[in-house]
Amino acid sequence: MDFKDYYQTLGIAKSASAKEIKQAYRKLARKHHPDVNPGDATSESKFKDITEAYEVLGNAETRRKYDELGANWRQYEQAPGGPGGGANPFGSGWPFGDGRWTVNMGGAEARAGGAGDPFSDFFHTFFGGAHEPQRRRAPRNKGRDVEQSIDLTLEEALHGVQRRFSIATRGQARTVDVKIPPGVSDGSRVRIAGEGEAGVGGAAAGDVFLRVRIAEHPKFRREGRDLHTPVDVALTTAVLGGTVEVPTLEGPSLTLKIPPATQPGQVFRLKGQGMPGVRSHGERGALYATVTIEVPRRLSDEQREHYEALAEIERPGKSGRKKRRARSNA
């Protein structure tokens, strides 16, 4: 009978904490669980080894005794009554049951010491004493989480939305109602607790995570809680000043005052017209309006006359410009 290194089975160091042991067991158990690998004899064998290792290392007292055994393994092996007739190195009073407790492996219960026994001779030699039976529960595993995507418009992300959609878990499709909170961002996840795959051994079911995908908007670009949009300003308004209407995501436009000599690319900030944050208690970001200058494509005769007169005035060395300067100096 060979010594079984349970630490190696779980892929952990002998100094591992109880938390690390549990994490390693859960990770491996999910990977090799018979429900995940139906008909795979190799995975089933590994799952039995993993469960056996955790049965010992997952309990502080049995782990202590196992660590003691590891240090004295060769001594016990050669002692009278060892594997060839030796006594249990921990004494006859070690209360680990009579081998009649059960281990649940994905719906099929295997009885230690009986038909379908999942554990090794090594385990029964040292952890299956012949005294008072002690039932031990197999570790419970939370069900697998499920992730799906959900498509939203920017307006739906602004106000939040309630959706009904179908999810396929536990071998069947189910309809679930979910409320998407205002302010969700592209790529964020919304959790629906307990709607994932069923747990193992009576453990809680997993969760469903909805990965949010927000469609591009034709007018607005989002950066965090802020929105950005271009705003067209007439050439004369940019030069002389005036007002323009700025669209908002909610619908109604806002009137923006444009000061004289406004330049292309100049940005105006409209406070509180951006997106809310999921945890900002209704506080919203800003809307940034970036000026684009509208150059007229067609001119009336009168407009052309005025633009030509302006060009004449601005031409260097012209008398009209000199007279104007002279008046300003008078």
Task: Provide φ and ψ at 189, rounded to 5°.
Answer: -120, 140
Q: Which CATH number fits the domain 221-294, given the four candidates 3.90.1150.10, 2.60.260.20, 3.30.420.40, 3.60.20.30? A: 2.60.260.20
pTM value surpassing 0.85: no
Say if CB 25 and CB 63 are below 8 A apart.
no
DSSP-derived 3-state class of residue 304? helix
pLDDT value at 130 more than 70: no
Look up residue 149 and give its amino acid. Answer: S
**pLDDT value of residue 252:** 87
Q: Which residue in the block uniquely carries the two structure tokens 């281990």?
A: 103
Sequence-ordered list of residues with C-beta below 8 angstroms from that of 207, at least 6 positions apart, any chain: 145, 146, 191, 192, 193, 194, 195, 196
Per-chain mean pLDDT for the chain: 78
What architecture does CATH give domain 6-127?
Orthogonal Bundle (1.10)
**pLDDT value of residue 313:** 85
Q: Which residue in the block uniquely carries the two structure tokens 């595993």?
A: 141
The pair of structure tokens assigned to 190 is 């919304």
Assess whether the region 146-214 and the region 221-294 belong to the same CATH fold: yes
Segment 63-109, tens digit of pLDDT: 888 888 765 655 555 555 554 444 454 444 333 334 333 444 343 33
Q: Is 134 left (phi over 0), alpha (psi -120 to 50) or beta?
A: beta
State how beta strands 81-82 and 85-86 pair. antiparallel
The fold of 146-214 is: HSP40/DNAj peptide-binding domain (2.60.260)
**pLDDT value of residue 257:** 96
Mean pLDDT, residues 138-161: 86
